[in-house]
Each structure stands twice: as C-alpha cells, then as structure tokens.
Structure 1
Amino acid sequence: MLPKVKQILDRVIEQFRGSDIPEAIAYSMFPIPNIPSAKWSLMNHLIMFFSGTKDARGYRQWHNVNRFVKKGAKSFTILVPYFKKNKNDKGEEVPVLVGFVSGNVFRLEDTDGQTLDYQNIELPKLPLLKRASEWGISVTAIPGNYEHYGYYQPNKKVIALATPEEKTFFHELVHVADEKIKGKLKQGQDPLQEIIAELGAHALCNIVGKDGNKYFGNSYHYIEHYAKDLKITPQTAVLRVVSDVEKILNLILGKE
C-alpha cells in the first residue's frame, strides 16, 4: 500500500474511534448534484466531510468553472482508483481495478471566482427564522439530491434546506428544540425523534404557518413509516410523543 494511501485510511480509521462517523455518513448522503464529488465513493465523501466542506475539486476542475485556488491554500487528499487494461477470456481489453493512488483536491472555501449555480439559491421568509437565529442556528439553502429535502447538523449548528416549503424548516427546527430540551439527539434517523419532529412540524404549520393542513397526508405517511419501525400504530406513536411535542412547541413559541 502506498504511504499516502495508508495515511488517508488511517485518518478515517481515527475518526471511528470517536463518535463522528455515523454523523458523517448521514450527511454524506446529501451530495450536491451535478458536481464532480457527487460521483465520489462514500470513503471520499467522509474525507471531504472531515475536511469541512461539501464541494472539493482538483485545481483544473476549479479552473474550468472560473474559480481559482487562493494563494497559500492547502489541498487535502482523496483516494483515486487506478485501473489497468487486461484482456478477458474473449481477448477483449477491459479495465481492471488494481489499487488506489492519492489525488489532491481543494475545498470550495479555499477558492475565489465566479459564483457557482447552487450558491445562488435563496430561501423565502419562513416563519420562525428569527427563533432559529436566537438559538445560534444558521439556516442555509442547499441544492436537493432529489431524495432528501433538509437536515439539521448539530455540531455545526446549521439547518440546511433544499426546499422552500415551511414544513421542512419546521421539522428541522423541532429537532433543534428537542435537542435543547434533552441535551443531545440520538444519531441517525431515530424513529421517535422523527415522529416528534414531524408531528411538531405539522402543528406549527397550523399555528404559525401559511399552509395549514396542506401537508397532512404526507405527515401521516411519514409518521406511519416510522411507527412501523417501532411495531406500533401511528395513533400509539402520537400518544407516546405528544407530551414531548407540547414541551417543544412551548419552547419554540416562547411559552417557556
């Protein structure tokens, strides 16, 4: 194994000794579409996450989109597959993976130049944005990957939204309030946490939102999905979390 490759792998293994990997994997499932790293392996997405960015490219790749690496900026290394052409049983030349080499890439944050398309996304004036700001939470717009519409990243105090719909923001804001009450959220898609967030979001749509019952059907199916994971009915799930939701709503609405 090449020393540089071993160094990259050692860094990821070191993260396994802490509690960062589950969170990193979760956020690596939200790649920005239509950029080079969208096609990277999970391993390279983890390396990129630990390097503090969601968009990293090689020097020439940045140049191709009219962005330029800042003077003195340091690259980080990813694993690049190395292929050789071998002949198969039919005498045809086919690429065969023989190992990995290291490749240098630079973070978006270490470049200057033309604004990228996905940086032009703007959020509407959502209800309760001020509450998020008061709690030290930044709310940013991101391009969607057509599977996920938003997430809350506790360690960075960021709510990222890929849709202007208020219910998605409310869902993530409920996660923030849940964390403030309990001290810490469970990592990953914990069924009870998701049911709490969805029920709370639907309530907020009716209390302070603009769209009221517009999302009722989607909310029910969302809760039903996670209730099945717990092997209980949606009604039982709601009864189990309703007191938690009440505390969260009181906190968000300033009644506590």
Structure 2
Amino acid sequence: MTEDKIQAATQKLLMMWESGNLPEAIAHTMIQPKGRPCDKWSLGNRILMLANEALDARGFKQWSDAGRKVKKGKKAFYILGPVTKNITVEDNETGEKITKLLVVAFKAIPVFRLEDTEGAPVPVPNYEPTVLPPLMNVAEAWEIPVRYVPNLGRFYGMYRPMTDEIILCSHDEITFFHELAHAAHHQIRPLKGGQDPFQEIVAETCAAVLCLMYGFEGYVVDARNYVAHYAGMASGNVTKAVMQALSDIEKVMTLILETAVEQELQALSKI
C-alpha cells in the first residue's frame, strides 16, 4: 500500500513537471535573527560559528557583560574582524575634504560557545515554527536533532552526516522534507560530501513528492527548477534524471513513510 502511494504521487509529480501544469508557486522564506551579538556578524563568521557546533558565541567581555564566564580549560574558536582607520579624501567635484572609514586588514577574534560558559541564564531565542512540519516524528524516531537557526544566506537547510543532525534556516515544509530525505538516504548508503547531483535529485524529488502527499503543492514549482539544475549537471533532463534515481527515491520514501506509520501506531497504542 505504501509503495503504491509513493508510485502514484511520483507519477503525478512527473506529469505536473512535464506538462507545465503547475500550481501557483509559494515563495521561500528565511528565518530572521532576533538580536544576539552573533546575529550582527558577517555571513562568513556565522558559518564559522555553525561549523564549530555553536548557535550562540561571543567574546570574553561580551560573556562577562551577560553575567557569564568561560569555563576553565575551554578553548576559543576564531572569527575575523575588520581593522579600520579613518582617511581624509578630497571630493573631486566640490573639493570638500571628506572623512571615510577604510578597512585595511582583518584580525582573528577569539570567541566562545554558550556551551563553554557558565553563570547567569541567557535567553535562548526560539526559532521553531508555531506548528512543526509533518514527519517531525520520523526525525525523532531516528534520534536526529532538528535545529532552526537564523538566515545564513547561502542555504535554506542542511543535513550533517558527521553529527547526524538537521539544521534549518527556513520554516518551509519542503526544506525539512529535503533534509529528512538526505538523512534517510544516508541510512541506505553513506552520502558523499558536498552537493552531489544524484543525492540532490533524490532529496528534492522526495521532498516534492512529500509536498504533494501532504498538500503543499506550491513548492513543486521551485523543486522542478532545483532538480533541473542538478539534472543538467548529471544527465540532461528532469524526467530522465528522476527515472535514473527512481530506485533510491522509492527506497528513501518507503523508509520515511514506514517510519512515520510505525510512530503513529506507537502513539495510538499509548492512548
């Protein structure tokens, strides 16, 4: 029964993509920051923070001002801060002297993760959506943490095989479905690093199929463009690329949906 539903939804998706008979697209959204010091950092520094498995990091004095101190033996990681100086230039048109701030170099600045400090409680912004997306119980069953974080500019979400966690910079259901598909695919066979075209086609097709099954059809428009991009890198066109990946797509979908059913049955047994 599950396999029949997967095949029917997949065929419907391919027909929509091929015919161009697509619903009105839903604009993708990004989570906006809520005012912590690190939210003012450059994109590169915020990615460095995420790479160091931190969701809040600050300098020694900033933690002190927040009533916390760095735990003994904890080490900093480093972000880059600009070194600036004021220069005076002459306006070519008016001859007026103007003072400008010029970045002349960058310096390494030590910062510490929240987890490496102790002291007064620090308000932790809650970036989770009011209503969690469907299939969150699948991530819970696999013991995969799902973290919602502010906009990091270059991506809507990621699955990190090394730490087995999902990080989302968007509340869009398709973003969660995409990263959940990566997590399921990793269980079937270890994922390659980077944006592997085959893996991206599998994840986005699964995400689009799940959107159809759960009533979020507006996302399938951009999903087609996403798959087409990676199909161009991989094999030439959307249908051909999906058909080549169909075996893995069906395995990933089956693993996700069968886990969801198991979780629902367990929940019902406890009532």
Q: Same fold (TM over 0.5)?
A: yes
Question: Shift of the alpha carbon at 1:178?
Answer: 0.6
TM-aligned CA distance change 1:87 to 1:216, over 3 Å: closer
1:244 matched to 2:245: no
Could you list the per-position Cα deviations for residues 40-86 of structure 1 after superposition, in whole angstroms to 9, with x for gaps in the alignment?
585x667645643243211222355x352255362415265685869
Counterpart-to-counterpart distance in 2, 1:84 and 1:164:
37
Counterpart-to-counterpart distance in 2, 1:253 and 1:36:
40
> Which residue type is aligned with residue 200 of structure 2?
E
TM-aligned CA distance change 1:60 to 1:193, over 3 Å: same
Unaligned stretches of 5+ in structure 1? 1-29
Cross-structure match for 2:4: none
Percent of residue pairs bearing the same amino acid type? 35
After TM superposition, the structure 1 = structure 2 runs for residues 1-256 of structure 1, keeping only pairs within 5 Å, are 36-37=37-38, 39=41, 42=44, 48=49, 51-63=52-64, 66=66, 68-72=68-72, 74-78=74-78, 83=83, 97=104, 100=107, 103-111=109-117, 112-116=120-124, 119-123=125-129, 124-182=131-189, 184-207=190-213, 209=214, 211-230=215-234, 232-254=236-258
Contact kept? 1:149, 1:163, Cα under 8 Å:
yes
Q: Match of 1:143, SS? A: coil
Cross-structure match for 1:7: none
Could you list the per-position Cα deviations for residues 80-113 of structure 1 after superposition, in whole angstroms to 9, with x for gaps in the alignment?
56858698998x998574785x543221223443
Contact kept? 2:201, 2:230, Cα under 8 Å:
yes
Q: Match of 1:251, SS? A: helix
Could you list the per-position Cα deviations for residues 7-38 of structure 1 after superposition, in whole angstroms to 9, with x for gaps in the alignment?
xxxxxxxxxxxxxxxxxxxxxxx9x8565556
Contact kept? 1:141, 1:161, Cα under 8 Å:
yes
Cross-structure match for 1:4: none
User: Which deviates more, 104-113 or 66-75?
Assistant: 66-75
Contact kept? 2:149, 2:168, Cα under 8 Å:
yes
Question: Shift of the alpha carbon at 1:39?
Answer: 3.6
Q: Match of 1:193, SS? A: helix
Aligned alpha-carbon RMSD (Å) = 3.5
Counterpart-to-counterpart distance in 1, 2:127 and 2:46:
23
Contact kept? 1:69, 1:106, Cα under 8 Å:
no
Counterpart-to-counterpart distance in 2, 1:170 and 1:156:
18
Q: Match of 1:228, SS? A: helix
Question: Shift of the alpha carbon at 1:170?
Answer: 0.9
Question: Shift of the alpha carbon at 1:145?
Answer: 3.0
Counterpart-to-counterpart distance in 1, 2:46 and 2:133:
31
Structure of greater relative contact order (alpha carbons < 8 Å, 6+ residues apart): 2
Counterpart-to-counterpart distance in 1, 2:81 and 2:140:
43
Cross-structure match for 2:26: none
User: Which deviates more, 106-115 or 230-239?
Assistant: 106-115
Cross-structure match for 1:19: none
Question: Shift of the alpha carbon at 1:172?
Answer: 0.7
